Amino acid sequence: MDRPALASFLRARRERLRPEDVGLPGGVRRRVAGLRREEVAQLALMSVDYYTRLEQERGPQPSPQMLASLTRALRLSRAERDHLHRLAGHTPPEVSGSADHVAPALQRVLDRLDDIPSLVVSELDETLAQNDLARALFGPRESLTGPERSGAWCWFMRPETDRAVYPASDHDRQSRAIVANLRVVAGRTGPASRAARLIAELRAGSAEFARLWDLEEVAERFADHKVLLHPAVGEIEVDCQVLFTEDRSQALLTLTPQPGSPGAEKLRMLAVLGPLAAERQPG
């Protein structure tokens, strides 16, 4: 770990960003160039003290998960992400199948969405970035690691907790849609892909998944009408729209209620509840 070089790189990348670049209000008077340290810490979902120590060359070696959070917060390119990992003493993630780098174009759109739940997901339904309303609705999911990063894995391997956001009457439809979408991804990425490994694990671990996989259904699942459940506000009806990257490896999902509907009012309530609503942890 090269502490001086890491600190210098973090400072330089922080100073080149303006608040409006990351969806934050600029304010009238700012004494520092670029973002403040506390703003980077907020975006990276880490403590201000932890981030400050990194910039002061006295922090502990950040984990790959911390580096992924910093990559998102500082809007780093893939080359910059890899450089960050090397400075921190880690091997850069493999480009093929990596699920920790948000496509910059999707991140720029997400930065400007603050009044509707919005999130960026990978092709395996791994949450890569969320806005505050999405955290309030689904819980904070960007920092998950291992198999539980995949919403598909969670849906079939721990259904007693991860299906609570949907009414029971919708579980079968959601299950079939998830399986049909995984078949699309597997067909696009091939037998040596992460999708293929996930499918093999699910077929071995979930009888429901194995049964649905044998139906040979193929479909992409994102754009539809949804009823979501939240313990604080109850049922919320929304329409899901999706924006894909060119290679379709990532998608920006937006959940919009009908104007003037009960769903719109409940999302406004969630926005007010903020951190209290986000206390529901995934799983």
| pLDDT one-digit tens code per residue, 137-166 | 988 888 777 888 899 999 999 998 889 999
The token pair that represents 85 in the structure block = 């990992």
For residue 90, the tally of other CB atoms under 10 A from its CB is: 17
Q: What tokens does 23 get?
A: 């969806």
State the pLDDT at residue 18: 83
d(CA 199, CA 273): 38
Q: What is the pLDDT of residue 24?
A: 75
Contacts of the segment 42-49: beta carbons below 8 A, 24+ positions apart:
43/72, 43/73, 44/69, 44/70, 44/72, 44/73, 45/69, 45/140, 45/142, 45/143
Q: What is the pLDDT of residue 240?
A: 92
Taking 70 as the pLDDT cut, the residues of the chain under it are 26-33, 94-100, 221-223, 274-283
Cβ–Cβ under 8 Å, residues 152 and 162: no
In this predicted structure, what is the pLDDT of residue 283?
42
Residues 4 and 140: their CA atoms lie apart, in Å, by 32
Residue with tokens 């206390």: 279
What is the reported pLDDT for 282?
44
CA distances to 158, 191, 201, 209 from 206, rounded to whole Å, are: 10, 20, 8, 5
pLDDT at 189: 83
